[in-house]
Chains A and B, each alone.
Chain A
Amino acid sequence: MKYLDEYRDGDLAKKLGVEIHRLTTRPWNIMEVCGGQTHAIVKFGIDELLPKQITLIHGPGCPVCVTPLEVIDKALALAAKPGVIFTSFGDMLRVPGSTTDLLAVKAKGGDVRIVYSPLDALKLAEQNPAKQVVFLGVGFETTAPATAMAVFQAAQKRLKNFSMLISHVLVPPAIEALMSSPDCRVQAFLAAGHVCAVMGYEEYPPLAEKYHVPIVVTGFEPLDILQGILMCVQQLEAGRAEVENQYARAVRREGNRPAQRLMHEVFQVVPRKWRGVGEIPASGLGLRADYAAFDAEKKFGLADIQVDEPADCLSGLVLRGQIKPQACPAFGHKCTPEHPLGATMVSSEGACAAYHRYRRHNAAETTDIK
């Protein structure tokens, strides 16, 4: 397929692997921030082409995984309400809350629908004036502009039956939180290409300088990721710590200005809880006061739903890159994709689910990347 096959060429992938082997003289820990990249790494077996000294640490960039338990519980409460059409991206439906998930609420009669865009949810609101349509707005800077657009349009159309349960999160504060932690092992980052397509990468040079880490804006296809790793290794071996752009075909330094303006119009930066990580200051987006009418938490009075995460689930350590999924005692036993304890086992982008799907047997002839 055009624009895809070119970036999945097996011979070129091997050449990049050989080049990484040639340059690597000692162990390096590289974190891919985005869950989409984690998925590609295990799906294509990219890590098998790397030297043993390179450890890939899977970062907190799976929006499904980091959405806090209490937001899921709020979603469940809303979805069960009569007269509500609850809309969400598909992979949020299986994420366990503290008692159940959205698929189970749907089975019990809740009107839960998968949409591909928040604008589809907006359309539903226009088509169903007698119902309250709520959209679960999760994701990083990648999905935030579409959420912002839906809220903006709903305001222009003066819709009274549309609202959002918002849990958008931001990448740079998460990188900062990781790097400032005393047990951080990360020596270089593959920054998430699609986040940077929206936001650009002007936020990264201060981080690279402050923590002396190379940051390479990287795409999602096998050759993108291998080249991103190669660029990290080149910097690490040379002692450099700069921001570079591997994903130049999609990312410009300044990003997508109109999208940023729209986000700024609708959202303000707020502190946000990350599932398994805890609260990170200034790491989320919330609706500005002008758009408070579209805030489902306020509209339906959900502020008092607060819950703790299950103690058996070590997804927080996985999300912080401190353990590999198989190191969790619950992995594959108490916690499987069919009965997930934590969200990292639910989303196809979650590190635990990716390992369970592609790696759980040693017989798969895989190289462990611990």
Chain B
Amino acid sequence: MTTPDFKATCPLPMQQYPHVLMAHGGGGKLMHQLLENVFGKAFSNPILDTQHDSAQFTMPPGRLAMTTDSYVVQPLFFPGGDIGSMAVHGTVNDLAMSGARPIYLSCAFIIEEGLPMETLWRVVVSMRAAAKKCGVQIVTGDTKVVDKGKGDGLFINTTGLGVIEHAWHINPQNVGSGDAVIVSGDLGRHGMAIMAVREGLQFESTIESDSAPVHEIVLALLKAGVKIHCLRDLTRGGLASALNEIAGSAGVKIAIDEPLIPVREDVHAACEMLGLDPLLVANEGRFVAFIAARDAARALEIMRRHTGGKRAALIGSVAEFSHPLVTLRSVIGASRILDMPSGEQLPRIC
């Protein structure tokens, strides 16, 4: 995706350098061409354009939030997103989980020798579009090139800096008995989109990743004065991991209702076929919110006004302070533990 004022074609002389060479990370002319013509052009802003070793800026008043994340997804492009947009959304979303307004990003690229320059350019263009959509500036960065076979095409690390413009402390210690547990949308799409492409699985419809920024939803909740106790994005390990982490940190029992959890039918079908549990599958544009019970209805109403929050749902509540535990009432009305996954989910034999 690109903006109308921006050229989608790679500005480096393609005939000369159709692929990334070791020299592009070597500190010489080629590296400078790459920095200037690719990253500099795409991410241009007054802070980055000074081309100094570190970015200099003044932050607006308020506490700061900072986070970092590395992105190693394969394939680099998948239905609903790519490694570039994901590297922006993921870090923006981590900031949003503190209720922070994201402002600046750094980004570091580790590129495997031989990556087509066109591929790198497409990723960079996508990052630019995602950053613009999120209202963040990429103000500093780094590029390294590793030998062929020592990387997986492209790895990206982004660090985010945001400002917290409210007085609340959003963290697991604030989770308390009676809190409403709300998910911001349907679950499991990112993980299943990636798996479908990786494994060459064909379904009737294409499952698209849910990769998207969620900070606007969070800021809207805060602006409306909704009492948010804790937020957690539902990336690796999915809802099951997030709830178990929070139950552990807060020392509470969380009880959720399986029939209330939104999962799209195609995602559900793909999970059934592969023997996977959608509650353990990764998302890239979803979060769970622990909210004071009296604000739950209002929170849902606000979340559903946003594109990424249309299927927001109240899925359970915090039962009590106790031995950390997450229980799930199944579709037939019986209760069981919802455990944290042991490792990667492995497809079952039959």
Contacts and interface: CB of A to CB of B under 8 A. Distances in A.
B271 to A, nearest CB: 10
A252 to B, nearest CB: 19
B344 to A, nearest CB: 9
Given A44-B334, A363-B325, A364-B335, A142 B350 contact: yes
Given A143-B349, A361-B323, A43 B343 contact: no
Interface in A90-113: 90-94, 103
Nearest to B342: A337
Contacts of B339: 356-358
Interface in A314-370: 337-338, 347-349, 356-361, 363-366
B268 interface: yes
A365 B327 CA distance: 9
B333 A14 contact: yes
Nearest to B263: A1
A114 B347 CA distance: 8
Contacts of A119: none
Nearest to B347: A90
B332 A44 contact: yes
B275 A348 contact: yes
B167 interface: no
A114 B342 CA distance: 18
A116 B332 CA distance: 30
Contacts, number: 109
A36 interface: yes
Given A222-B332, A363-B253, A63 B349 contact: yes
Interface string B252-289: 01000001000001001100101100000000000000
Nearest to A114: B347
B346 A364 contact: no
Contacts of A143: 349-350
A51 interface: no
Contacts of A347: 348-349
A293 interface: no
A44 B330 contact: yes
Interface residues of A, number: 48
Interface secondary structure of B, over-half rule: loop
Given A91-B347, A363-B253, A43 B336 contact: yes
B56 interface: no
B335 A10 contact: no
Nearest to A222: B332
Contact of B336 (A116, A348, A359): A359
Nearest to A39: B348
Contact of A222 (B272, B331, B342): B331
Nearest to B350: A142
Contacts of A89: 347-349
A359 B328 CA distance: 12
B192 to A, nearest CB: 14
Contacts of A45: 330, 332-336
Interface in B301-350: 322-323, 325, 327, 330-337, 339, 342-343, 346-350
A358 B337 contact: yes
B195 to A, nearest CB: 11
B337 A364 contact: yes
A116 B346 CA distance: 11
Contacts of A176: none
A48 B334 contact: yes
Contact of A348 (B325, B327, B335, B348): B348
B333 A13 contact: yes
A359 B337 contact: yes
Contact of B346 (A4, A94, A365): A94
Contacts of B332: 8-10, 13-14, 44-46, 49, 222
Contacts of B275: 348
A10 B331 contact: yes
A140 B349 CA distance: 10
B346 A93 contact: yes
B334 A94 contact: no
B199 interface: yes
A364 B349 contact: no
Contacts of B342: 94, 337-338
Contacts of B343: 94, 103, 338
B315 to A, nearest CB: 16
A178 interface: no
* In the complex, the 7 A-B pairs of residues with the closest C-beta atoms, listed nearest first: A45-B334, A90-B346, A90-B347, A13-B332, A337-B342, A48-B334, A89-B349
20 contacts: A1-B272, A4-B272, A14-B332, A36-B350, A44-B330, A44-B334, A48-B334, A49-B332, A63-B350, A64-B349, A90-B347, A90-B349, A91-B349, A93-B346, A94-B343, A347-B349, A357-B337, A358-B336, A358-B339, A364-B335
Interface of B: 199, 253, 259, 265, 268-269, 272, 274-275, 322-323, 325, 327, 330-337, 339, 342-343, 346-350
Given A44-B331, A63-B349, A116-B199, 17 more contacts: A1-B265, A1-B268, A4-B268, A10-B331, A10-B332, A10-B333, A44-B332, A44-B334, A45-B332, A45-B333, A90-B346, A94-B342, A222-B332, A349-B348, A358-B339, A361-B325, A363-B323
